[in-house]
């Protein structure tokens, strides 16, 4: 009984996160300006990290943790680089 509740909660949480990623993707496509798209990208990678962590719980494997860590790291670096690019037109000065 309790296990059923847990399984369903995991499923619902995953659906909620996929909807959240959908919202972020809509914002990426709609813009209207470059900075709006980058905010969408930021939300997208945070949601992806959470989704991977929940996949880890669902399959009771800690392997997903590494993937989540890498997505969080790469998301940070890419958003920071794009923000820098928006400001100066160059990534490295």
Partner 1 sequence: MTHLAELPSWAALLTALLLLLGAALALIGSFGLLRFGSFYERIHAPTLGSTLGIGFVLIASMLFFSVLQSRPVLHEVLITVLMVVTTPITLMLLARAALYRDRTEGNDDVPPST
Confirm or reject binding of residue 74 to partner 1 (CB under 8 A).
no
Confirm or reject binding of residue 13 to partner 1 (CB under 8 A).
yes
3-class SS string, 17-67: HHHHHHHHHHHHHHCCCHHHHHHHHHHHHHHHHHHHHHHHHHCCCCHHHHH
Confirm or reject binding of residue 26 to partner 1 (CB under 8 A).
yes
Cα(61)–Cα(69) distance, rounded to whole angstroms? 15
Confirm or reject binding of residue 39 to partner 1 (CB under 8 A).
yes
Distances (CA, A) of 52 to 1, 45, 87: 25, 10, 32
- Of 5 and 92, nearer to partner 1 (C-beta) is 5
Which positions touch partner 1 (CB under 8 A)? 2-3, 5-10, 12-14, 16-17, 19-24, 26-27, 33, 35-36, 38-40, 42-43, 46-47, 49-50, 53-54, 56-57, 60, 62, 65, 68-69, 72-73, 76, 79-80, 83-84, 86-87
């Amino acid at each position: 009984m309790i296990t059923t509740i847990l399984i369903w909660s995991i499923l619902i949480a995953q659906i909620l996160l996929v909807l959240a990623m959908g919202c972020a993707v809509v914002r990426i496509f709609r813009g209207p300006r470059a900075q709006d798209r980058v905010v969408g990208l930021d939300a997208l990678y945070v949601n992806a990290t959470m989704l991977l962590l929940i996949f880890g719980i669902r399959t009771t494997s800690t392997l997903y943790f590494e993937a989540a860590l890498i997505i969080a790291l790469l998301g940070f670096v890419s958003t920071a680089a794009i923000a820098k690019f928006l400001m100066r037109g160059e990534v490295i000065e």
